[in-house]
Structure 1
């Protein structure tokens, strides 16, 4: 997958379909548990939603590379916050 192939709208469905196509599901591992503890201890109340977790799982499964993880999450955040690209 290349960056231009990633849509700018409909990211929730795109990510869910990509995970389903590759049989990827999010599983909380020790690293995720540690990250949650660190986040809580720093008084940071950020918890990833199911779509964000699927992007993490796709990266862990090496279905997508790190730059694609960042692009998918960035576009997903833009869409969910109604930020339109210029």
Structure 2
């Protein structure tokens, strides 16, 4: 995966660019609703933003591997919630 974000440090722009370049958008699936209910039943509530959803959509479209999805998500979350 060629990663221009390595040079710019802007992982969000990279994720959006990758999705746009591949014509990928996030579509909520029935499995997403099941996951939301299951998470709530455990006492947690997970709220994702549009960039996190794009990462999932990129994986579903086989643009990135599962390993790349985890890496991108980790980098995005660290960048978003650190500081």
Please give the range of the TM-score, normalised by the shorter of the 2 chains.
Answer: 0.7 to 0.9
Trace 1:32-47 onto structure 2 (pairs within 5 A): 32-47=32-47
Of Structure 1 and Structure 2, the greater helix share is in 2
Q: CA deviation at 1:6?
A: 6.5
CA RMSD of aligned residues (A): 1.6
Aligned-partner Cα distance in 2 for 1:69–1:6: 16
Contact 1:6 1:72 (8 Å CA) reproduced:
no
Using structure 2 for the length normalisation, give the TM-score: 0.87
TM-score where L is the length of structure 1: 0.85
Counting matched residue pairs gives 81
SS where residue 46 of structure 1 aligns?
coil
Gaps of 5+ in 2: none
CA-to-partner distance for each residue in 1:15-73, whole Å, 9 max, x for gaps?
11110110000001011111111112222121111000000000000000011001000
